[in-house]
Amino acid sequence: MKERILVIGAVAAGTKAAAKMKRENSEADVVIVTKDQDISYAGCGLPYFIGGLIEDRKELVVKTPGDFKAVTGVDVWIMHEATKINPQEKTANIKSLITEEEKLFYYDKLVIATGASPFVPPIQGKDLEGVYTLRTIADAVSIRESVDQGSVKKAVIVGGGFIGLEVAENLRERDIEVSVVELAPHILPPFDEEMALYAQNYMQEMGVNIFTEEKVTALEDCKGKVCRVITDQREIEADLVVLSVGVRPNVSLAREAGIEVGSTGAIKVDKSMKTSVPDIYAIGDCAETLHLVTGRPAWIPMGSTANKMGRVAAVNLMDTGKEILPGVLGTTIVKLFKLNAGKTGLSERDAKKAGYPVVTAIVPANDRAHYYPGYREIITKLIVDQETHKILGAQVIGEGVVDKPIDILATAISFGAKVEDIEKLDLAYAPPFSMAMASTIVAANVVVNKLKGKLESISPIELKNRLESVQVVDTRDEGSYTIGTIPGAINIPGGELKFRARELNPDKEIVLVCKIGKNAYLSYLTLKGLGFKKVKILDGGVRVYPFELE
C-alpha cells in the first residue's frame, strides 16, 4: 500500500514539506489539511498590500489549492480542521468547517505545521469594529478595504515590531496619521537600544508618532466602533487599530496528543524535525529549533526558517536521505520608508544575558565609494566574544545597502568565524558597489583594535547615563560643534588638542567625540602620547548618538 502522510497546516512549512515529499517519492499519498481558504501565500507581503504597493490580492497567492495539486500531486483539504491526533491509533479527527462533518483520517506519518496566531491582549474593546490583527490575506483585505473607503484618518499600531512598523509605514504613505504604541523601551525590541533609537528617530522624522514604555489598557467604544486608544499615559484618537504585539505558537493540538512542548513554548523537535512521538514531525512557526550561537532552544518564527524546516522534515520522513537543520541565527531585515535595518545572531543585550564577555563596536561608513553618486550611509554594530574572538552577532542600519553586509556576517557566524577572519575577507570592490575597505571590514578592524588594547570606547547609551561624571571633548571644528554637540561637551578641535591639553583634568575620564569616530581616534592617540590614562572615544561619534544634542 502507498504510504499515507498527513500534513496539518499549509502556508510556508506545510506546503514546502508536502511538495518536497512528492518530489522525493511520487507514489506517496500526501494530504494537506488547513482551516484557511488560502494554502500558500506571501504573509510577509501583507503590509505592502495594505499600502497599495502590491495592488492585487492575487499577487500574494503563491499557489491556489488547484494549482498546487496540479503541480505537486498533493491533495489539499481547505476549510478543514484537525481537532485531535491519536498517536497510538495513528489517526486524526478532521472536521469540515463548512458542513461540520467529522471524519477519521488514517496516516502512516504525520507533519504538524499549525503555525502561530497573533497574540491579542485581554483589553477592553479588542473586539470592536475597526480593530484588527494581521496574519492572513483576509486580515489584510479587511484593513485595506477599511482604508480604501476613505474613513480612516488616524490609525494606531499597538506593537513596534517588524510587522507593526511595516504597517505604520504603509498607512503613513497613504496620508493617514499613524501612532505606534510599544510597551518596551524602544521599537524593534530585538535590536540593541542605540540602533533601535536611530530607527525610532527616523520614523518620527517621517511623521510617525511613537510612544514607548506605554501599555494599552483599553480601546474606547463609540457606537460599536473603536474611536480611541487608552494607554497608561495618554489617550489617542483612532479610526483604525492594528494589534501587532507578537504571535504565539499553535501547540494545543500537539500538547493534547502527548507531544512534548519545549522550553520556548513551541513544539520540541530534534535537528531532523522529529517530535517526541514516533512518526510525527513538527515544522514552521509551531516548532522550536536551536540558536546557532548559544546552542540553546530558540523560537524565532520566520518564513525562511519554516521553508528550511519543511525541506528537512520531508527528506527524513520519506527516508530518502538524512537532513538536519543545525539551528538559526534569527537573521532578519526590515525596510522602514528609506531606512533599512538588519540583524543576525545575538544582540549585545542577549549576549551578556547568555554569559558572554563581549566587545562591541559601532561604526558608520558608506555602502559604496563616497565619490560615486547615490552612496548612502550605513551603521554597523559588531558583537564579539572577548575570549574566543568569535562573532556573536551584528546589526546594520541605514539608508544604504544593508542586506549584503548582514548576509556576509550571518555566513561568518554560521561557520564560526573570528573577527580577525572578517578583516581578511576578499570582498568584491568597485565604486558603484562598495568602498575599497568595505564597511564590514572597517567595523572588524575597530573591534580588533579594541581586543589588542589599542582603543577604548564608550557606547552612546553608557555616555548618556554618565554625562555628569566624564569630560566630553568635541574634536570637530567650531562650526560643527555649534550646530549640535553632546550636552556639556567642550570644543577643542583635534588639531589644537596637543596645545590645549592643559585645559583637561587628567584625573577625570575624558570622552572624545567627532562625527563618526575616526578623528576622535586620532585625538585619542594624541592624548595617550601626552600621558593621559583615562581616555575613551564615543562609539560611532555624534552621528550615532541617538539622544538630543545641544
Q: Hey, which residues are catalytic here?
A: 44
Q: CA–CA separation, 132 vs 147, rounded Å?
A: 12
Inter-residue contact 409 to 344 (CB < 8 Å):
yes
What gap in Å lies between CA 406 and CA 421, rounded to an integer?
16
DSSP run (H or E) holding 35: none
How many other CB atoms sit within 10 Å of the CB of residue 205? 10
Strand partners, 384: 359, 391
Between CA 181 and CA 331 the distance in angstroms is 25
- The whole-angstrom separation of Cα 288 and Cα 307 is 14
Provide CB contacts within 8 A for 323, sequence distance 6+: 272, 311, 312, 315, 316
314-321: long-range contacts (C-beta < 8 A, 24 or more apart)? 314/16, 314/17, 314/18, 314/20, 314/21, 314/24, 315/20, 315/24, 316/272, 316/273, 316/274, 316/281, 317/5, 317/17, 317/21, 317/109, 317/111, 317/281, 318/21, 318/24, 318/25, 318/28, 320/24, 320/25
Beta strands in 317-454 (DSSP E): 332-336, 339-345, 358-366, 377-385, 391-398
Residue 201 to residue 181: CA distance in whole angstroms: 14
- Cell triple for 189: 525590541
Q: Which of 20, 23, 16, 18 is nearest to 4 (CA)?
A: 18
Identify whether the C-beta of residue 110 lies closer than 8 Å to the C-beta of residue 258. no
| 91 close to 107: Cβ distance less than 8 angstroms | yes
